[in-house]
Amino acid sequence: MTRLDRRRMLQLMAAGSAGLALARPGARAAQAPEESLAALAAKRGLIFGSAVSTPQLDDPAYLGLVRQECAAVVAENAQKMYAILPEPEAWDFGGADALAEFAARNGLDLRGHALLWNHPDYLPDWVMETEFGTAAAAEDFLRGYIGRVAGRYAPQIYAWDVVNETLDPETGELRDTPFTKALGPQVIDIAFDAAKAAAPGAKLAYNDYMSWEDGHETHRTAVLRLLERLLAQDAPVTGLGIQGHARWTDREAEFSPARQKAWRGFLDEVTGMGLDLYVTELDVNDGDATGPDAVRDAEIAAYTKDYLGLMLDYPQTKEVLTWGLADHDSWIQAFVDEGELVRRPLPFDDEYRPKPMREAMAAAFRAAPQRS
């Protein structure tokens, strides 16, 4: 445990069950859980946190919940290239700075996401329309961008998702962007190198959504080959970010022994390379679940417990972050079609009351083996 971890753990333990009373009307302090998820995780040497969006920074009750439960926060969107550099030279650190200030004011650790989301749908339009012409021009731009962003938040940011989702899950190939066009696979090496230079003390992750589900075999293999290649080139990668956006379909099928075996095989290979694991964006899309909320919540909770149980079995799993805390604000709601049920993917409901998923997470943290 680092000094920072120990200090944070002592703070959390001192805060004990008092936590913060929730300010939102209808949410009673009596419902505040006995021990925060952050404290339970810290006892096992784990970091627990959540994504926070820029609009949520104007919601005091939501921030109360974040302070109550989290040891770390990550910007849901504010540190992405499309937020920081929406037009050429139009740097905008407003949202990213606001979250960094919130974290600093409240003694929360700050995770960084993501220096290069090398995905055609999520790069700024102007970047997608750019022809770099030469490899050197693309490299200059990328080093300049990453150096400026990672440098601005060093040393506050303890871990960065350096490259996000650069592999096409269908083909296993690099996604086609102006960066890959100009630089080929070297784009990833350059991003890690630039991140290390600007944030030498931070953990540096490759982050992606390969999972245990059927159909993810090609994606998993591509991630393994990428990590192997990076390590062979001495790239400063410290771990794999596993987004953990799960889709609940059916409990038995979802986390079947066969799927668990395939997933463990993958995790064994990653950890066998000496890399850590970070669960970076946990949520459970319950789009296929039916029935009353209580039934759906119980299914989601059971699934979360199984999943985290497996992940935390690996002492290399050092962090768990959810992609938000409360259902109504989840990004997943944007995909709900008319006539479908509103999703319940996160540990708190829209009144910020804890759901069974929260208890499942607490139980998984309590049961997790101690890590250093």
Q: What residues make contact with ligand XIL under the rule CB under 6 A?
A: 76-77, 164, 243, 281, 331
Of 182 and 188, the one with the shorter C-beta distance to ligand XIL is 188
Structure token pair of residue 210: 């390969």
CB 353 within 8 A of CB 27: yes
Q: How far apart are CA 22 and CA 69, in angstroms?
A: 11
Beta pairing partners, 235: none
Q: What number of H helices and E strands is found in the chain?
A: 14, 9
CA 210 from centre of chain: 13
CB of residue 112 vs ligand XIL: minimum separation in angstroms?
12
**Would you call 52 helix, strand, or coil by DSSP?**
strand
Helix (H) or strand (E) holding 246: strand 245-247
Tokens 């925060």 belong to 36
Length of the chain: 372
Of 331 and 365, the one with the shorter C-beta distance to ligand XIL is 331
Of 39 and 188, the one with the shorter C-beta distance to ligand XIL is 188
Q: CA distances (Å), 188 to each of 32, 174, 284, in order?
A: 43, 10, 29
Of 35 and 281, the one with the shorter C-beta distance to ligand XIL is 281
CB of residue 183 vs ligand XIL: minimum separation in angstroms?
21
Of 211 and 243, the one with the shorter C-beta distance to ligand XIL is 243
Of 41 and 321, the one with the shorter C-beta distance to ligand XIL is 321
CB of residue 43 vs ligand XIL: minimum separation in angstroms?
28
Task: Determine the angle formed by the axes of helices 257-272 and 293-313, rounding to 10 degrees.
Answer: 40
- Smallest Cα–Cα separation from 171: which of 206, 207, 205, 219? 219
CB of residue 40 vs ligand XIL: minimum separation in angstroms?
25
Q: Which residue is nearest to ligand XIL (CB)?
A: 331
CB of residue 46 vs ligand XIL: minimum separation in angstroms?
21
Q: How far apart are CA 48 and CA 368, in angstroms?
A: 13
Q: How far apart are CA 306 and CA 283, in angstroms?
A: 14
CB of residue 170 vs ligand XIL: minimum separation in angstroms?
17
Of 5 and 319, the one with the shorter C-beta distance to ligand XIL is 319
